[in-house]
């Protein structure tokens, strides 16, 4: 497999080995009709092993959630079979509406239609706090 | 719109101004008797709390204002499933300022996001209780004459006690504060607070027995240790007496130590201690009401 196989879509590259399925789940890729490929444990000179996700359609992609799970990932944008953009992700300051607060006492558990929101707490550790109840969340939670 | 959701949202300078107003209210109560005439405070208490609700209501009445509200979620539209957002938008049509207690953590933050009037967090689950911290700060400032250069002992359940967490966060911002944290190993302060103190360069020590450090403290803040918090009975039996303050133990303390407790107490401070001039917990309640008066005034002024 290589990125030339995609006409219009994305290659999410340089995911740490083992994180592709979480990205797949959080991005709701199971709900797409187009081809989606998950490559686990691909050999990488820089990382040893890495995961890759290929999406064969230019869907709206939530970069915040990818960078929350793996800020070291790269998103390659393919149009007409060519690489047109290479987006290097950084740790996001906010993550909205995708993750859910794990604290059973948090107001987000009961308030109707309230968007879950997280604010970056520690850039080094990659930890976030719930905007409402301050509970600390780590990407591996 | 200015609110009070977390004590840390207000700078030490803003808190100092609030305490100055409270001091003036204590010195000249008559000057403030009509300052809130024609204004309404809504107390939205989704879970019961006699002390805090009465303190807010007394604060508003002493300023010449009026009070509406509910003291139990069962008596409100919440029992029909109304959201916090809808409740606050409705109440903001009737009242000029809102004090909210809620069992869900972050509920006052949601209320503030949808409110056209100031919102005061009157306690949200185990999360924050900033007006208790206001009472604590004023008590320390009035009793010790300062909020810096103090050795502050906190004793009891330091893991789940929200008043302890807020007080540590608030006092860490003042100069030359040292904390002595007295608790069983199971109930030590949460890791995030320990890291916060280290990052802020605030010195602290952690000990298990109150008797060992009693004589070193300028302030002692007592809280209750509940038996069910212990992992095993043996530890509870070994340590339980260490967290009960008796007149005998008070002999080990400095003559000018300030003894505080957020109340209600059960048996962690013996009644014989109440007569000790260093016992300030009932004064602390009164100061809490005056701080709530000052807070209502400041928030209403900012909302104009």
Please indicate, yes or no, whether residues A70 and A99 belong to a single structural domain of this protein. no
Task: Give the Å distances, CA to CA, from B143 to B91, B138, B175.
Answer: 38, 8, 18
Find the CB nearest A106 among B83, B85, B105: B105
- Among the listed residues B238, B33, B254, B56, the one whose alpha carbon sits nearest the alpha carbon of residue B153: B254
Domain of A132 in residue numbering reads as 94-137
| ipTM surpassing 0.95 | no
Q: Of B132, B170, B136, B120, whose CA–CA distance to B4 is shortest? A: B120
Q: What is the pLDDT of residue A1?
A: 46
pLDDT at B131 over 80: yes
Q: Indicate if A19 and A82 belong to the same structural domain.
A: yes
pLDDT given at position A98? 76
Chain A 97-136, residues with CB within 8 Å of chain B CB atoms: 103, 105-114, 130-136
A137 close contact with B: CB closer than 8 A: no
Tally of structural domains, chain A: 2
Three-class HEC string of B160-200: CCHHHHHHHHHHCCCCCEEEEEECCHHHCCCHHHHHHHHHC
Q: pLDDT tens-digit profile of B185-196?
A: 888 998 888 988
- Average pLDDT, stretch B251-264? 96
Same domain, yes or no: A24 and A61: yes
- Give contacts of B83 with chain A, Cβ < 8 Å: 111-114
Same domain, A27 and A62: yes
pLDDT at B32 over 80: yes
Residues A83 and A103 both lie in one domain: no
CA distances from B172 to A42, B36, B84, B148 (A): 49, 33, 32, 10
- Considering the domain architecture, whether residues A83 and A130 belong to the same structural domain is answered as no
All structural domains of chain B: 7-128+285-303 (3.40.50.1370), 131-284 (3.40.50.1370)
Across the interface, which of B110, B126, B192 has its CB nearest the CB of A107?
B110
Task: For residue A102, give the CATH number of its domain.
Answer: 2.30.30.20
CATH number at residue A9: 3.30.70.140
Residue range B233-247: average pLDDT? 83
Which residue is listed with tokens 């800020």?
Answer: A71
In this structure, the answer to whether residues A84 and A103 fall within a common structural domain is no
Give the model's confidence band at B77: pLDDT under 50 very low, under 70 low, under 90 confident, else very high. low
Are A75 and A101 part of one and the same domain?
no
Average pLDDT over chain B reads 93
- Same domain? For A48 and A98 the reply is no
φ, ψ (nearest 5 deg) of residue B266: -110, -75
Confidence of residue B84 (pLDDT cuts 50, 70, 90): very high
Please identify which residue in the block is written with the tokens 């004090």.
Answer: B99
DSSP string computed for B22-78:
HHHHHH-GGGGTTTTTT-EEEEEESS--HHHHHHHHHHHHHTT-EEEEESSGGGSGG
A131 and A65, same domain (yes or no): no
Is the pLDDT confidence value at B227 over 80? no
- Kindly state whether residues A14 and A77 are assigned to the same domain: yes
């Amino acid at each position: 497999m290589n990125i030339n196989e995609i006409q219009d879509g994305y290659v999410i590259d340089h995911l740490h080995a083992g994180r592709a399925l979480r990205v797949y789940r959080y991005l709701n890729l199971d709900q797409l009709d187009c081809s989606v490929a998950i490559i686990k444990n691909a050999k990488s000179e820089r990382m040893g092993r890495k995961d890759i996700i290929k999406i064969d359609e230019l869907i709206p992609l939530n970069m915040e959630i990818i960078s929350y799970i793996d800020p070291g990932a790269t998103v390659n944008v393919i149009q007409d079979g060519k690489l047109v953009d290479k987006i290097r992700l950084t740790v996001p300051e906010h993550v909205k509406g995708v993750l859910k607060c794990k604290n059973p006492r948090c107001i987000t558990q009961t308030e109707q239609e309230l968007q879950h929101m997280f604010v970056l707490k520690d850039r080094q550790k990659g930890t976030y706090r719930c905007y409402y109840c301050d509970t600390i969340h780590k990407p591996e939670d | 719109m200015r609110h009070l959701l977390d004590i840390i949202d207000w700078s030490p300078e803003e808190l100092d101004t609030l305490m100055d107003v409270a001091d003036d209210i204590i010195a000249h109560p008559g000057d403030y008797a009509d300052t809130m005439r024609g204004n309404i405070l809504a107390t939205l208490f989704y879970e019961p709390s006699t002390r805090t609700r009465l303190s807010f209501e007394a604060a508003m009445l002493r300023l010449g204002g009026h009070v509406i509200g509910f003291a139990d979620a069962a008596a409100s539209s919440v029992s029909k499933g109304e959201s916090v957002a809808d409740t606050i938008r409705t109440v903001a049509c009737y009242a000029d300022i809102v004090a909210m207690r809620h069992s869900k953590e972050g509920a006052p933050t949601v209320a503030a996001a949808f409110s056209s009037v100031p919102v005061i967090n009157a306690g949200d689950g185990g999360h924050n209780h900033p007006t208790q911290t206001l009472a604590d700060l004023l008590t320390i400032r009035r009793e010790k004459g300062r909020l810096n250069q103090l050795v502050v002992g906190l004793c009891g359940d330091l893991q789940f006690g929200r008043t302890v967490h807020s007080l540590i966060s608030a006092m860490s911002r003042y100069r030359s504060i040292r904390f002595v944290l007295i608790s069983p190993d199971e109930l030590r302060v949460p890791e995030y607070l320990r890291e916060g103190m280290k990052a802020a360069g605030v010195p602290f020590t952690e000990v298990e027995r109150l008797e060992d450090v009693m004589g070193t403290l300028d302030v002692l803040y007592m809280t209750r240790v509940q038996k069910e918090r212990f992992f095993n009975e043996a530890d509870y039996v070994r340590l339980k007496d260490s967290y009960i303050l008796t007149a005998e133990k008070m002999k080990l303390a400095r003559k000018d130590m300030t003894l505080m407790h957020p109340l209600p107490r059960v048996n962690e401070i013996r009644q014989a201690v109440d007569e000790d001039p260093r016992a300030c917990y009932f004064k602390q309640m009164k100061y809490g009401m005056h701080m709530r008066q000052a807070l209502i005034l400041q928030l209403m002024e900012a909302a104009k």
